[in-house]
Chain A
Amino acid sequence: MKKRILVVDDEKNLRILYEEELKSEGYDVDIADSAESAFKCLDHKVYDVIVLDIQMPGMSGLEAMGHMLHKNRRQAIILNTAYSQFKDDFESWSADAYVVKSGDLTELKEKIKELVS
């Protein structure tokens, strides 16, 4: 059975990129453009990995992560952000991985692979 991945990002192009790339890696990919829509997805499905952007309009990725972990403490979450400074942020330690956004998705893909295996 295909591993299921939820990508949360406010950037439309990035959502497309992640969706295409991860699909081509053989994952079942859902996308959400905000924390709120991500919670809706989570209401219906269970995801093996959630790729979460931090800087988003509305609820931030970190706050969203809090809710998600509250709901499912074992939820695998990769924080995927343009900023590296959140790496030192206490909250981000609860994430399973912290990946700085890059056109080279190799690192992200490896982290996902690690988490789903």
Chain B
Amino acid sequence: MTDAEVKILVGEKDAKILQRIRKILTEESYGVWTCDDPGELSRIYESGSFDLLILDITLYAQLRRQETRIGRLDDDAAQIIILTDEANFPAALEAIKEGALDFIEKPVRVKRLLVSIRNALQHARKLQEIRKDQKELATLKELYERIIDGIDYGIVVLDPELRIESINRHLQRKQRQDAAHAVGEHCYRFFYNRGAICDECRVKEVFESGTAVKYNLIHRTPWGLQYHLEVEAFPLFDREGRVNRVVQLSKDVTERVRLEEELREKKDYLESLLAHAPVGIFSTDQHGLIRAANPEFVEIIGAKEASRVIGLSVLESEEFVRNGLAEQFRRVLTEGLPLEIDSHVCHFSWGRQSICSLRGAPLRTKDNQIAGLITTVQDVTVRSHLEENFRKRIAELSIFKELGELLQSTVDLQDIYAIALIGVTAGVSLGFNRAFILRYNRSSNVLIGETAIGPSDAEEAGRIWSKLYEKQLSLKEIFANYKETLGTRDVRVNEIVKRLRIQMTWEEGLLPEVLFRNLPKNVRNASQTTFSDQRLLAAELGCEAFAIVPLISRGKVEGVIIADDLITGKEITEEDVNRLSIISNQIGAAIENSRLLQNLEEKVEALRLAYLDLKENRDLLLRAERLSAVGEVAAMVAHEIRNPLTSIGGFARAVKRDLEKSHKIETNRRFLDIIIEEVKRLERIVTEILGFVRPVAMRFAPTNIHEVIDQTFSMMSGEIDESRVVVTRDFQPDMPPIWIDADQIRQVMLNLLRNALHAMKGEGMLSVVTEATNRAARIYVADTGEGIRADHVEKVFNAFFTTKTTGSGLGLTISMQIVKSHGGSIEVDSREGEGSTFIITLPLRSGEVSHEKEDSRRGRRKKPAHLV
């Protein structure tokens, strides 16, 4: 501040003095305002900011009494210099007490005045500086307080007695109390409402050690809330270096702790998941270095400890390169391609070989950069083996099935053996090199070579097998091929097998084990044994290792199958032997089938012969029955005609005797002799019939049936004409000739027509209709007569059944016999009161058929007779 900028207000009632001061100050270049009136003065003072007031004491006193701003010690107040005379000294001293800076005696001396002004201005400047500093401090204080109050920490200052000296607003809010209650209170009472220091409190420690501590504690409020606090307590020192206060900062970390716990749980969960996952899992960084691996992964690769694999490079480590995995992992890491490897054979240097399935994927950062990879590894060794086994079993089963089908296609024992040999040796099947079948002859107790299959040497084997391999032949095709080339191949093995003839003994040996105890054997080092039969076999087969299984059919030992791998020298496994046994069982069953079938065929033949015998007997029986029926009929006929014959003969003789006396004796006698002769002949016939009934010889000939029917009607014409019966005939056109005995069929027609006429009692309609089918001719004889009672229909064909007073009851019986002897049939369809229809069916070629029958039967009869 220059002098010119200094504004000075001068108040003086004495105009001279006022003038003088004005002059002095103006000369000194101060800004000068003067005034002699107290009211005016106050107004001027208020209107501008003056640095200095120079006031007459009386004016000052007046202004003080009026309580203007002048003389008050406020910040912006101007410094005051009092002008006084001697009389007002005490008042001036009073003014100094009240804050005036100086007083000057009147008359005013220039030098004194200027010195005082300069002092006053200096003082004013200092004062101004102090005020400015104070203001800055206040601002700063407020800022800090705001910071402290606004901060998220609880801050409390404690004295050595643990009384609260100050507490920030944050804590007050937390505590729901205000500072008024807090200050001077023991912290444990204020915060916890306790009577003594808290156990977990470490503030005391800070007082004692003078070093800051940091710790966590759980703060439970009296109203039940729980906070996790992070506490930091640090000491404040006095000038002597003693701790006189401790500031305690506490931060509420409840939420953080909760999140941390959650995070830890999540982490634990994930870790446990990884640890217990049934698949191996590992991850790498972007360089392919393994960062994490779970126990299962370690287990799968056999590393025992995770530390062995952590840090390994999946791209460069020999473990992964050797197993052909490194390149796959590289693609995941560089191209981000997912990895999928199934049933990969892995062999890590720590453990055994295993079969694994791997699935991998890149790990990516938020901005989609590849940050590594994660891969799961599953040990599928067992499953793979099972699958492999399963596939093998299925293949085996299908072979056995094919073999079974092939075996079912034949019952020929040689074929069965051939199929067995093929089953044992075919590459698609068991794939033995050679196979032999030996049969056991029970009666002589000898095992005899039957047949064999197999190449003579490696050269032949190579030729045959490669051919078979190229063609991929099925068993069936091989079998067909085998049958074609039978005799031209497998020469040597068949030489061997034909030579084999082993007498079984009671000695211990290989063969008794196999044959009598049904034990399949896998023989190795065949010559190095005490069993003589085994040594013999080895020598004959020229082979040291072979499988031998019993061939059993229907519980009986049939022989053995021997198989070896002479050419390839492959070791025969127990499984091979098992399969050989299965084939052997199949063959056994096939042999059994073959035998059964053979038995069955024999039985069928025996049954067929028995049937023929029975049939013949039955034919004979029928014939006998028929003969006896004919006999009965004949007897009846004989009886019926004996009496009339007797009377005819008797009377004829009587007449003859009488006539001897009259004319024309000779002629009459001759006639009567004829009657007598004829009757005699009849009687003789009757006698013969009665004595020995012979079937009537049939005379078959192709016959027009319509002619036969017409002839019958002619014979009946008399009776028909006498009646009022209308006759209709409806004949099938082009009826072929029928092979019949015309006389007999005429007899039949006669019987039927006569019956019909009787049934109609002289009135009605009689129709005869014929028709032909492919195989038979039919004749319908229908009447409109009384019909047959339902209970009589069954009996009308029985001998001597009649409803007529004059009938013999034989007509229909005889008719039936005749039609049957023609191979035909006769039926009746009748309704009482409406009429009857008789239907005769005759085969169109009955004669020929019957001849054929006769021939074929004889032919069959003869064959067995020759065999016997």
Contact = CB atoms under 8 A, between A and B. Distances in A.
Contact of A104 (B635, B644, B680): B680
Contact of B642 (A16, A21, A82): A82
Contacts of A14: 643, 646-647, 650
Q: Which of B635, B642, B653, B654 has the most CB atoms of chain A within a 10 A radius of its CB?
A: B642
Interface stretch (A32-40, A63-71, A95-103): A95-103
21 contacts: A13-B643, A14-B647, A14-B650, A17-B647, A18-B650, A21-B654, A24-B654, A82-B646, A83-B639, A85-B690, A101-B642, A102-B646, A102-B683, A103-B651, A103-B676, A103-B679, A103-B680, A103-B683, A104-B676, A104-B680, A105-B650
Interface string A86-117: 00000000000000111111000000000000
Ranked nearest first, the 5 interchain pairs of A and B with the lowest CB-CB distance are A103-B649, A82-B642, A17-B650, A13-B647, A101-B646
Interface in B601-647: 635, 638-639, 642-647
Interface residues of A, number: 20
B649 A82 contact: no
Q: Which of B643, B648, B649, B679 has the most CB atoms of chain A within a 10 A radius of its CB?
A: B643
Contacts of B676: 103-104
A84 B690 contact: yes
Given A102-B646, A104-B680, A82 B638 contact: yes
B55 interface: no
Contacts of B679: 103
Given A103-B652, A103-B679, A104-B680, A84 B691 contact: yes
Contacts of A18: 650
Q: Which of A82, A85, A105 has the most CB atoms of chain B within a 10 A radius of its CB?
A: A82
B286 interface: no
Nearest to B641: A82
Given A11-B643, A103-B649, 19 more contacts: A11-B647, A13-B651, A14-B646, A17-B646, A17-B651, A21-B650, A55-B639, A82-B638, A82-B646, A83-B638, A84-B691, A101-B642, A102-B649, A103-B646, A103-B647, A103-B650, A103-B652, A103-B679, A104-B649
Interface of B: 635, 638-639, 642-654, 676, 679-680, 683, 687, 690-691
A47 B635 CA distance: 32
Contacts of A84: 687, 690-691
A82 B644 CA distance: 11
Given A82-B643, A103-B645, A103-B646, A20 B687 contact: no
A56 B634 CA distance: 19
A13 B644 contact: yes
B643 A101 contact: yes
A103 B654 CA distance: 10
A4 to B, nearest CB: 21
A17 to B, nearest CB: 4
Interface in A1-33: 11, 13-14, 16-18, 20-21, 24
A17 B654 CA distance: 9
Contacts of A17: 646-647, 650-651, 654
Nearest to A18: B650
Given A17-B647, A82-B639, A82-B643, A105 B653 contact: yes
A76 to B, nearest CB: 21
Contacts of B643: 11, 13-14, 82, 101
Nearest to B657: A24
Nearest to B646: A101
A104 B653 contact: yes
Nearest to B690: A84
A13 B683 CA distance: 17
A20 B654 contact: yes
A111 B98 CA distance: 218
Contacts of A100: 687
Contacts of A105: 650, 653
A21 B644 CA distance: 16
A85 B295 CA distance: 119
Contacts of B647: 11, 13-14, 16-17, 103
A103 B648 contact: yes
Contacts of B646: 11, 14, 17, 82, 101-103
Nearest to A11: B643
Contacts of B645: 103
Nearest to A100: B687
A88 to B, nearest CB: 12
A17 B645 CA distance: 12
A55 B643 CA distance: 11
Contacts of B680: 103-104
Contacts of B650: 14, 17-18, 21, 103, 105
B650 to A, nearest CB: 4
A83 B680 CA distance: 16
A21 B652 CA distance: 12
A13 B639 CA distance: 15
Given A13-B643, A17-B647, A84-B687, A103 B638 contact: no
Contacts of A101: 642-643, 646
Contacts of A102: 646, 649, 683
A18 B680 CA distance: 18
Nearest to B683: A102
A57 B429 CA distance: 93
Contacts of B687: 84, 100
Contacts of B653: 103-105
Interface string A52-64: 0001000000000
A13 B641 CA distance: 13
A103 B596 CA distance: 73
A102 B635 CA distance: 16
Contacts of B683: 102-103
A31 B361 CA distance: 138
A83 B649 CA distance: 17
Q: Which of B638, B648, B652, B654 has the most CB atoms of chain A within a 10 A radius of its CB?
A: B654
A82 B690 CA distance: 9
Contacts of A55: 639
